[in-house]
Amino acid sequence: MHRIWTAADGTSVVIRPIAPSDLSLTEKFDSELSPQSKYRRLLSDRRLSSAELRRFTRIDPRREIALIGVVGDPGDLKQVGVARCVDDVADESAEFAIVVSDDWQQRGLGAVLLSDLIDAARLHGVRRMEAITMADNGGMLKLARRLGFSAQPHPGEAKLIELALSLV
Ligand SMILES: CC(C)(COP(=O)(O)OP(=O)(O)OC[C@H]1O[C@@H](n2cnc3c(N)ncnc32)[C@H](O)[C@@H]1OP(=O)(O)O)[C@@H](O)C(=O)NCCC(=O)NCCS
pLDDT tens-digit map of 96-146: 999 999 999 999 999 999 999 999 999 999 999 999 999 999 999 999 999
- Write the DSSP string, 5-64: EE-TTS-EEEEEE--GGGHHHHHHHHHHS-HHHHHHHHTSSPPPPHHHHHHHHS--TTTE
Q: How far is the CA of 90 from the centre of ligand 1 (A)?
A: 30
SS3 110: helix
Structural domains of the chain sorted by starting position, each given as residue range(s) with its CATH number in brackets: 3-166 (3.40.630.30)
- The answer to pTM > 0.85 is yes
Cα–ligand 1 centroid distance for 64 (angstroms): 23
Query: Taking CB atoms and a 6 Å cutoff, what residues make up the pocket around ligand 1?
Result: 37, 40-41, 98-100, 105-111, 131, 133, 137-140, 142-143, 146
Cα 17 to chain center, whole Å? 12
